């Protein structure tokens, strides 16, 4: 993990124990971790992708709206949660690293520590139609 904030360590530990796909980013939007349940939707194990800069992960999964138009990073729920400091939700399409297209629903929450420190954000997501 890029930071030693105990809250991020605990968030990652929580993600490792939950059965929901979870994706965690730092305050700059850089990918810190995604859990095992996220791997089939993203098309690759986290151990294979590792941490990624925001400019990479926001494009590598080719996010698009339902009409196929590319979504800018600022439109993605995780980046909105970071930028706006409040929860964000959106459904959109991605292409997994296994090249399989999927429509997902994403709910992102800012991670705010003691004294209002911005620690990053966490997204919980699922494949649409599997709720």
Confidence of residue 130 (pLDDT cuts 50, 70, 90): low
Q: pLDDT (tens digit, 9 = 90+) per residue, 70-100? A: 999 999 999 999 999 999 999 999 999 999 9
pTM over 0.85: yes
Paired with 109 in beta bridges are 122
Q: Which domains are present in the chain?
A: 6-127 (3.30.450.20)
Cβ-count burial of 76 within 10 angstroms (0-12 exposed, 13-18 middle, 19+ buried)? Answer: buried
């Amino acid at each position: 993990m890029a930071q030693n904030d105990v809250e991020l360590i605990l968030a990652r530990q929580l993600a490792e124990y939950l059965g929901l796909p979870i994706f965690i980013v730092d305050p700059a939007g850089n990918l810190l971790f995604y859990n095992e349940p996220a791997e089939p939707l993203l098309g690759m194990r986290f151990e294979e992708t590792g941490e990624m800069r925001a400019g990479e992960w926001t494009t590598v999964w080719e996010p698009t709206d339902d009409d196929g138009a590319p979504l800018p990073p600022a439109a993605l729920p995780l980046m909105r949660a970071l930028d706006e400091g409040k929860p964000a939700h959106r459904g959109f399409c991605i292409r997994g690293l296994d090249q399989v297209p999927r429509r997902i629903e994403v709910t992102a929450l800012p991670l705010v520590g003691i004294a209002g420190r911005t620690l990053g954000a966490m997204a919980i997501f699922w494949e649409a139609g599997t709720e």
